Homo-oligomer: A and B are copies of this chain.
Amino acid sequence: VDVTIREALNMAMDEEMEADDAVFVMGEEVAQYQGAYKVTKGLFQKYGERRVIDTPITEMGFAGICTGAAYKDLKPVCEFMTFNFAMQAIDQIVNSAAKQAYMSNGDMNVPIVFRGPNGAAAGVAAQHSQCFASWFSQCPGLKVVAPYNAEDAKGLLKAAIRDPNPVVFLENELLYGTSFPLSDEAQSKDFVLPLGKAHIEREGTDVTLVTFSKMVGYCLDAAEELAAQGISAEVLNLRSLRPLDRDAIINSVKKTNRLVAVEEGWPQCGIAAEICAVVMESDAFDYLDAPVERVTGADVPMAYAIPLEKMSLPQVEDIVAAVSRTTERKMYGVA
């Protein structure tokens, strides 16, 4: 069957709530309104106000409350209407959730999921368009996940809810309504995907495109175009940004000898920067036939107008251009 990302996320929460009374959902408009983006649709009707809880617009407060509930072995799914608003709560996420297991020398589990849409949407300007992938991925103690398709959405969210550690789960608003196939296996209530493992979405031999979230689709489109040009691109969907699946990246580079890292967020200190660094400090470096390329969001706040918005975000043609450079270029031998 085909399901939308919205439905896949909803199934994940529904199944985990059904299986475990400790799981609850809290956030703004998640209950009676059915979710600002309808991701929690039906859960309030099914599980009632004990387990599906509308909050006031107080992110710092309810993120802290969810964290405390997790200290007591509940399994909160804390929804941020978007991750832009999670900035108000980021101290709770990093200091009260992520660091506690370590600070308590293992006395305290914090089994919580912080989820919601992250990054650019459409026509919502600078304050509502930031990508927080790299910030969260920097923090030991957190796991950070970013699904692309419906199987990712369902399998990773279920795994995140079951995980005994704090997980930041970065969705993409523009994908909520997109449909993807869900295999028989993925329809099962037992279906989970492992956190920390990347997934090869498309095999290829000439160049590796490493990316996550919505940009996986762009990379698949670029791979399609490149195929027409006779270039075989492998598309690696990171799925997890922390732990980062270094081996998957390294192995793919060893196979294709070329790497383009793609993300929507701002360039400086982004995920793509980390990928450059990972390659620099692994033996994959020696397999490179061209320097690693980054394709990233432009280094500007997001504007409202459509043409500016488009210029601010990676387009398929940018990915194709980067690949073309890596495949044309040969490394200067040094020795």
Chain A contact residues, CB within 8 Å of chain B? 60, 84, 87-88, 90-91, 94-95, 98-99, 102-103, 125-127, 130, 134-135, 137-141, 242, 244, 265-274, 276-277, 280-281, 285-286, 288-289, 291-294, 299-301, 303, 330-335
CA distance A303 to B125 in the complex (A): 40
By a CB distance below 8 angstroms, the chain B residues around A266 are: 138-140
By a CB distance below 8 angstroms, the chain B residues around A330 are: 334-335
By a CB distance below 8 angstroms, the chain B residues around A88 are: 60, 91
* A273, A286, A289, A293: most-surrounded residue (chain B CB, <10 A): A273
- Knowing A94-B87, A301-B102 touch, does A293 contact B280 (C-beta < 8 A)? yes
Q: Given B87, B135, B276, which contacts A95 in the complex, CB threshold below 8 Å?
A: B87
Q: Given B242, B269, B334, which contacts A271 in the complex, CB threshold below 8 Å?
A: B269
By a CB distance below 8 angstroms, the chain B residues around A277 are: 267, 272-273, 276-277, 292, 294
Q: Given B90, B244, B269, which contacts A270 in the complex, CB threshold below 8 Å?
A: B269
Q: Is the CB of B87 within 8 A of A91?
A: yes
By a CB distance below 8 angstroms, the chain B residues around A95 are: 84, 87, 126-127
A153 CB to closest chain B CB (Å) equals 24
Q: Is the CB of B103 within 8 A of A300?
A: no
Closest to A299 in B: B140
Q: Is the CB of B334 within 8 A of A103?
A: no
The copy count of this chain in the complex is: 2
CA distance A67 to B146 in the complex (A): 33
CA distance A99 to B87 in the complex (A): 14
A306 CB to closest chain B CB (Å) equals 16
Q: Is the CB of B335 within 8 A of A332?
A: yes
CA distance A331 to B334 in the complex (A): 5
A262 CB to closest chain B CB (Å) equals 13
Q: Is the CB of B270 within 8 A of A138?
A: yes
Q: Given B126, B141, B267, B292, which contacts A102 in the complex, CB threshold below 8 Å?
A: B126
CA distance A288 to B91 in the complex (A): 40
Closest to A294 in B: B277
Closest to A128 in B: B95
Q: Is the CB of B294 within 8 A of A268?
A: no
Q: Is the CB of A138 within 8 A of B134?
A: yes
Q: Given B130, B134, B276, B294, which contacts A94 in the complex, CB threshold below 8 Å?
A: B130
CA distance A330 to B334 in the complex (A): 7
6 of the cross-chain contacts (CB-CB < 8 Å) are A99-B127, A134-B134, A138-B266, A140-B300, A140-B301, A281-B293
Q: Given B273, B293, B333, which contacts A331 in the complex, CB threshold below 8 Å?
A: B333
A302 CB to closest chain B CB (Å) equals 9
CA distance A102 to B96 in the complex (A): 33
Closest to A242 in B: B268
A313 CB to closest chain B CB (Å) equals 14
CA distance A84 to B330 in the complex (A): 45
CA distance A280 to B253 in the complex (A): 15
